[in-house]
Amino acid sequence: MRNIWTIAKRDFKSYFTSPIGYIIIALFMVITAKMFNATLGAYIDRSAMFQAYGKGPNIHEGIFRPVFGNMNVILLFVVPFITMRLFAEEKKQHTLELLITAPITMLEIIFGKFLSSVLVVLAMLLPTLVYPLVVMSTASLEIGPIFTSYLGTLLLSTSYMSLGILYSAMTDNQIIAAALGLFSILFFWLISWGAQAAGPVWGDVMQYASLITHFENFSQGVISTPDIIYYISFIGIGLFLTHRTLDSYRWR
């Protein structure tokens, strides 16, 4: 456990010794803030209209579901840039040799690196807590769905990471790692679009394989075990393949 933390701490710090950590977090904050502002404005306009007829959509459905939906799309584009350096840079700087010849296991190295990028995403999500707090200061808001949305977002973005870390382990070129990561995440995101056309059996499979379908329940305030199992296995497979890739790098 100490080894994992040693690796994670070093990697997390190194995000913030170069501009990349600050740039990513700042961009993320600007975009989500703009989005939240626009969604909030639209909701206020609509609720004024709805007031004439009686009941309107609730605050979570009207504001936070779309905000979280958009946040996940942004994360899709951001996460590959967080994970791209994890192994690619170690290879380029020849520091992977230091890690491999240290008395720690490959699994500890991978978990440590993975943890560091999870921490970066947590650092990105932390400021977004302001939005529910702002709404809560003037209206009543249910905490439950907000909590599950955050949980879902975290699971979803860690799934992105498991793909990104895999490509980072495959190459020593960060740009290639990011590009491949981005394409694969998009693939697993959009695969459900073809589900309708694919017929009953394959349609179900494609629907199930899609990253985004499993987020639906979380965004509505439901924690469902199958969705959690899906994300955990997705992450597990990604990290397993990363482990295989790095091991084969040693054998070559």
| Least distance (Å) between residue 79 CB and another protein | 21
List, as one string, the DSSP characters of 156-205. HHHHHHHHHHHHHHH-S-HHHHHHHHHHHHHHHHHGGGGTGGG-HHHHHH
Residue 25: CB minimum distance to another protein, A: 18
Which residue's CB is nearer to another protein, number 5 or number 147?
A: 5
Distance CA(56)–CA(218), nearest Å, equals 22
Which residues contribute to the site for another protein (CB under 8 A)? 2-3, 6, 10, 14, 17-18, 93-105, 250-252
Q: C-alpha 57: how far from its chain's center?
A: 28
Task: Tell me the angle at which helices 106-125 and 143-170 cross, rounded to the nearest 10 degrees.
Answer: 140
Cβ closest to another protein, residue 53 vs residue 251: 251
Choose between 37 and 105: whose C-beta lies nearer to another protein. Answer: 105
- Nearest distance from C-beta of residue 9 to another protein, angstroms: 9
Which among 159, 147, 163 is positioned nearest to 231, based on CA atoms? 159
- Measured from the CB atom, the residue of 104 and 237 that comes closer to another protein is 104
